[in-house]
Chain A
């Protein structure tokens, strides 16, 4: 997705606004194992106010991608830019202030808040670090707690006094204090109960709309992404296999993996229909299959798929898929 302009009024010069990944790859090296390319060449863009869903199963590299996007991991190749400027990988130096508009919400709300500090202090960190006074920070914390649906009086409490859903709201408030223009949310609702999932997802969506914040929503749950994302990218083993406007991808998936993923979601409709399973497992990322990484599990794979690595082809405006078998037919079907 090189030019995902979700909002139509974007001008050419505003193309650099927001978060952009260009052919990003991230590798892991662990002793005694070959180099693992967890992310193998992904391009993606998140414009302000746009909600981009990144979907994939465990081990597909989506969390790694999220961390590299905000600078928590060093890319092995490609570029990450935020508002046109390269995103620094966090080292020992404090993060430059012009990158503090790019923030992250983590999956586990039990780990992402400091258990020993009052939540008000943690929320006001961003204000204090940006040069504001403690009083200003505290005021901001109170306002933001109310914005995320909690009481302003909670500022002096500790994280353990809150449930998972509430903690995730607090973590969101802390991120909002930095006045971000882009938030990377890594499985922000995966650890929550069903009703809390809905309310936290709604909160993130509302914030994106109301504050014109770009949101990269990383999730394994296609059905929730489908509810909130404008565009979606489906990842498999480090690469994006399909992307496009969410409704189109959901209603008319082209890549065999997207199809499998969508038909594996069990529907709570009482029909008793068993979801369709996809044979095989996600291969070890240290030994990715040659050619198309999906070919060992693909129902339509040909011999050529073992050799040719398919490129992400734009077959319709804003719709892309990476499948050599379908490539010739894609545009015609559309």
Chain B
């Protein structure tokens, strides 16, 4: 066993001032614009089941957007649709613009080019994207030589640079090592380096820190934040962990049963959640600074695929549900100029207009 490489500290002065965080300038084209995405998967009897039902989402340049929700809410499916990796028989409709190009109109070949080149993905388990039998250098340079058409020398130099960017100590030596010689946190850094190899416009991070220890997780979160600040990386981070969300995301969208039920700037959504589901998620968390209050789980369970209740899908579990909730499916309403929620009982909803309507 080779001794594990140790991790270097992220820039200690990296706690960002919210105001200096880059925002997508108005008028500039967002890196990702998803409009009215509908994904249907084949059900057990072959009839299509709606996994995602009208999702809108944008990620601006240099922005980190969080997509939250419990398992089965459709958050991972959104990412898979974007990568053209839906399970067999799945169909996607709507618009998914990556830098203005609609993924849903691309040929399979174009989608393959998009993946890895313009949209890169980081998974919960870095070993799903790292080849266990190839050295880290091989994996990085292959990627560079294939996609970027670099010669061996240039690819090596770039690989070292990338490993340095994700703070792998002694990058030259790291090139010759194999994934199993690194710890979980370092592997995730390497996976991020590979994802960055082709200067993607967008990084999709699906539960990138869920499998890691908290102290290591903190390092990865800092790394992503630094990459955004220094390299202008745009990130769509998918996680069930609202703590991670709070640390990293500029804007947060919360999904439930295939729909977005609340979205807005991080501080708005997490400090003043408008939707009862978001509130429920927050109450179920142990509150580090909230005294010894008991955990309050959300009653019931999320609906299965294709079994979403009528009206508001959350109404059977909602403490505030009224009779009308079972009937009309609520739209996402602009409660404030930045904060949208899909709960018609919300006092702000009375005067709000539907998101997307001028």
When distances are taken between beta carbons in the complex, the residues of chain A under 8 Å from B269 are: 270
The number of chain B residues touching the other chain, given as a range, is 35 or more
When distances are taken between beta carbons in the complex, the residues of chain B under 8 Å from A279 are: 6-9, 219
Q: Which of B81-89, B96-104, B277-285 participates in binding chain A?
A: B277-285
Question: A265-B214, A275-B247 are known contacts. Are A198 and B284 too (CB-CB below 8 A)?
Answer: yes
Q: Does B348 contact A (CB under 8 A)?
A: no
Report how far A197 CA is from B242 CA in the complex, Å: 14
Q: Which of A95-103, A117-125, A136-144, A223-231 participates in binding chain B?
A: A223-231
Tell me the residues in window 221-278 of chain B with beta carbons closer than 8 Å to chain A beta carbons: 221-222, 225, 240-248, 266-271
When distances are taken between beta carbons in the complex, the residues of chain A under 8 Å from B288 are: 223, 226, 265, 267
When distances are taken between beta carbons in the complex, the residues of chain B under 8 Å from A196 are: 297
Mask, A21-60, CB within 8 Å of B = 1, is 0000000000001000000000000000000000001100
When distances are taken between beta carbons in the complex, the residues of chain B under 8 Å from A202 are: 294-295, 297
Tell me the residues in window 226-266 of chain A with beta carbons closer than 8 Å to chain B beta carbons: 226-227, 247, 260-261, 264-266
Q: Are A193 and B71 in contact (CB under 8 A)?
A: yes
Q: Which of B12-20, B107-115, B329-337 participates in binding chain A?
A: B12-20
Q: Are B292 and A227 in contact (CB under 8 A)?
A: yes
When distances are taken between beta carbons in the complex, the residues of chain A under 8 Å from B322 are: none
Tell me the residues in window 189-228 of chain A with beta carbons closer than 8 Å to chain B beta carbons: 193-199, 201-202, 220-224, 226-227
B270 → A minimal CB distance (Å): 3
Report how far A202 CA is from B283 CA in the complex, Å: 13
Selected contact of B296 from candidates A58, A198, A277, CB within 8 Å? A198
Chain A residue at minimal CB-CB distance from B291? A247
Q: Does B3 contact A (CB under 8 A)?
A: yes
Q: Does A296 contact B (CB under 8 A)?
A: yes
Question: A193-B71, A202-B294, A267-B288 are known contacts. Are A296 and B215 too (CB-CB below 8 A)?
Answer: no
Q: Are A274 and B218 in contact (CB under 8 A)?
A: yes
- Select the residue from B185, B217, B288 with max chain A CB neighbours within 10 A: B288
Tell me the residues in window 250-303 of chain A with beta carbons closer than 8 Å to chain B beta carbons: 260-261, 264-284, 286-287, 296-297
Q: Are B4 and A281 in contact (CB under 8 A)?
A: yes
Q: Does A163 contact B (CB under 8 A)?
A: yes
Q: Does B202 contact A (CB under 8 A)?
A: no
Q: Does B286 contact A (CB under 8 A)?
A: yes
Q: Does B323 contact A (CB under 8 A)?
A: no
Chain A residue at minimal CB-CB distance from B72? A193
When distances are taken between beta carbons in the complex, the residues of chain A under 8 Å from B49 are: none
When distances are taken between beta carbons in the complex, the residues of chain A under 8 Å from B246 are: 266-273
Selected contact of A274 from candidates B1, B222, B296, B301, CB within 8 Å? B222
Q: Does B216 contact A (CB under 8 A)?
A: yes
Q: Are B282 and A247 in contact (CB under 8 A)?
A: no
Chain A residue at minimal CB-CB distance from B300? A195
Report how far A268 CA is from B281 CA in the complex, Å: 10
Question: A224-B286, A280-B6 are known contacts. Are A268 and B214 too (CB-CB below 8 A)?
Answer: no
Q: Are A195 and B286 in contact (CB under 8 A)?
A: no
Selected contact of B6 from candidates A222, A226, A296, CB within 8 Å? A296
Q: Are B284 and A283 in contact (CB under 8 A)?
A: no
Q: Are A220 and B214 in contact (CB under 8 A)?
A: yes
A152 → B minimal CB distance (Å): 19
Selected contact of A265 from candidates B8, B242, B243, B271, CB within 8 Å? B243
When distances are taken between beta carbons in the complex, the residues of chain B under 8 Å from A57 are: 213-216
Chain A residue at minimal CB-CB distance from B298? A195
Question: A163-B301, A287-B3 are known contacts. Are A266 and B16 too (CB-CB below 8 A)?
Answer: no
Chain B residue at minimal CB-CB distance from A166? B301
Q: Are B214 and A281 in contact (CB under 8 A)?
A: no
Question: A198-B284, A198-B296, A223-B288 are known contacts. Are A268 and B245 too (CB-CB below 8 A)?
Answer: yes
Chain B residue at minimal CB-CB distance from A267? B288
Report how far A2 CA is from B294 CA in the complex, Å: 29
A185 → B minimal CB distance (Å): 16
Report how far A280 CA is from B248 CA in the complex, Å: 21
Q: Does B70 contact A (CB under 8 A)?
A: yes
Q: Are A264 and B215 in contact (CB under 8 A)?
A: yes
B209 → A minimal CB distance (Å): 9
B178 → A minimal CB distance (Å): 16
- Select the residue from B222, B240, B243 with max chain A CB neighbours within 10 A: B243
Selected contact of B281 from candidates A58, A194, A223, CB within 8 Å? A194
Q: Are B4 and A284 in contact (CB under 8 A)?
A: yes
Chain B residue at minimal CB-CB distance from A220? B213
Mask, B128-146, CB within 8 Å of A = 1, is 0000000000000000000
Q: Does B186 contact A (CB under 8 A)?
A: yes
Q: Does B289 contact A (CB under 8 A)?
A: yes
B233 → A minimal CB distance (Å): 15
Chain A residue at minimal CB-CB distance from B211? A58
Chain B residue at minimal CB-CB distance from A34? B1
When distances are taken between beta carbons in the complex, the residues of chain A under 8 Å from B29 are: none
When distances are taken between beta carbons in the complex, the residues of chain A under 8 Å from B346 are: none
Chain A residue at minimal CB-CB distance from B295? A198
Chain A residue at minimal CB-CB distance from B221? A274
Q: Are A281 and B216 in contact (CB under 8 A)?
A: yes
Report how far A287 CA is from B1 CA in the complex, Å: 10
Question: A223-B286, A281-B186, A287-B3 are known contacts. Are A268 and B268 too (CB-CB below 8 A)?
Answer: no
Q: Does B172 contact A (CB under 8 A)?
A: no
Q: Are B297 and A195 in contact (CB under 8 A)?
A: yes
Q: Are B222 and A281 in contact (CB under 8 A)?
A: no
A193-B70, A197-B295, A261-B214 known, 14 other contacts, Cβ within 8 Å: A57-B213, A222-B214, A264-B217, A266-B241, A268-B241, A268-B245, A269-B271, A270-B268, A274-B16, A275-B247, A277-B10, A277-B216, A281-B183, A284-B3
Which residues of B are interface residues toward A (Cβ below 8 A)? 1, 3-10, 14-16, 18, 70-71, 183-186, 213-219, 221-222, 225, 240-248, 266-271, 280-282, 284-289, 292, 294-298, 301
Which residues of A are interface residues toward B (Cβ below 8 A)? 33, 57-58, 163, 193-199, 201-202, 220-224, 226-227, 247, 260-261, 264-284, 286-287, 296-297
Q: Which 7 interchain pairs have the tightest Cβ spacing?
A: A270-B270, A266-B243, A277-B218, A198-B295, A268-B242, A278-B215, A57-B213
27 pairs, A vs B, C-beta closer than 8 Å: A193-B240, A195-B298, A199-B295, A199-B297, A201-B295, A222-B214, A223-B286, A223-B287, A265-B243, A266-B221, A268-B242, A268-B246, A269-B270, A270-B271, A271-B246, A271-B267, A274-B222, A274-B248, A275-B214, A275-B221, A275-B247, A277-B221, A279-B219, A280-B6, A281-B5, A281-B6, A281-B216
